[in-house]
Amino acid sequence: MTTPFDLSGKHLLITGASSGIGRATAVLCAFLGAKITLNGRNIDRLNETLQSLDSNGHSIIPCDLTDYDKIAELVKGIEKLDGVVFCTGTQKTCVAKCLNKETVNSLFETNFTATVNLNTQLFENKKINKGASLVFISSVAALSYAEVGNAAYGATKGALTAFAKIRRLGRTIRRKREKISARLRQSRRCRRRRCVFAFGRCKMDYGYGFET
């Protein structure tokens, strides 16, 4: 089968891989040639996902991502990644007037905070390869599909959507700055060369020194 989505040689971490979207994503990515590290809370269901994957070399790391200390252990033991698919999530139907602090905090911990903390620690520990892809699984509940009882759930996915958009914007701005800085350095070096040549100076170290 010929496909433009060849993932051979790529190492991916997929959270929430014990069922649903996470499991389906793992199966597809393994089929496309990636080596998968599966994360979830239920070891038995993670093993079921593992057994459904094509080829060998895949692994599981059971971990509750709402536990900050356990995230640190997961990140410490994982190999560098070419991509992460954040599928961690839970849903609890509850009409707005019956929402309480515990329900809201629980939904945000699982659907938003856990993903943000994992994302942060992966970058802090330099586990993300250059050019890696990050995929954040949100929901139509955060956009245009309103359903009674899903106010808190939709809010958590809305927060995740905003985080992902701004995260992408930050990377885009950083890349543009890097390109601009590189062009400025090149331009300064060119001007320096012209000046040195014009004054008859024959120095070999003029190419650097204009970085700020």
- Give the pLDDT confidence of 128-142 residue by residue, as tens digits: 999 899 999 998 888
Least confident of 60-64, 132-136, 167-171: 167-171
| Bigger pLDDT: 165 vs 36 | 36
pLDDT greater than 80 at residue 180: no
Q: Per-residue pLDDT tens for 192-212?
A: 555 444 444 433 333 322 232
Q: Per-residue pLDDT tens for 68-85?
A: 999 999 999 999 999 999
pLDDT score recorded for residue 190: 59
> Per 3-state DSSP, what percentage of the chain is helix, strand, and coil (rounded to 5)?
50, 15, 35
Q: Which amino acid is at 196?
A: V
What is the chain's mean pLDDT, rounded?
83
pLDDT score recorded for residue 211: 31
Q: Per-residue pLDDT tens for 149-159?
A: 888 999 999 99
Token pair for 20:
């649903």
Tell me the domains of the chain and their CATH numbers.
11-175 (3.40.50.720)
Contacts 24+ apart (CB under 8 A), 67-76: 68/117, 71/114, 71/117, 71/118, 71/121, 72/121, 74/39, 74/118, 75/118, 75/121, 75/122, 75/125, 75/127, 76/125
pLDDT score recorded for residue 95: 86
pLDDT score recorded for residue 25: 96
| Bigger pLDDT: 98 vs 173 | 98
| Bigger pLDDT: 59 vs 175 | 59
pLDDT score recorded for residue 92: 87
